[in-house]
Amino acid sequence: MKAHIKEILLSEEQIQEKVNELAAILSEEYKDKDPVFVGVLKGVVIFFGDIIKRITAPCQIDFMWISSYEGTESAKMIVKRDISCNIEGRHVVILEDIFDTGNSLSFVH
């Protein structure tokens, strides 16, 4: 273990197992719905890649980049990059990284 890491809560294998489970659930749920999977940048990149390559349902992917922090203080939400596809009438699955205040998920919802 690296010196700056105090404790590992889940092993890489445990995380990948959960990613597989979630991908299987999403694949089944959206198999006939032509969903758009939207990743909220930048923190979601690794998780998004891991899960989207396991999704077996036909789908489209897109990204948006928002910011809720300026320095260390919470600030007004800013859209730095919005999605580029038309989502009207489509199922949209938002994938985000760490859920802390909930502000960004509320904003994109």
- Residues catalogued as catalytic: 100
Q: What is the CA radius of gyration of the chain?
A: 16
Count of all residues that appear for the chain in the document: 109
- Tokens representing 61 are 């992917």
Dist. CA 15–CA 8, nearest whole Å? 11
CA–CA distances in Å: residue 34 to residues 9, 30, 78: 35, 7, 29
- Return the amino acid letter for 8: I
Asked whether 39 and 92 are in contact (CB, 8 A), the reply is: no
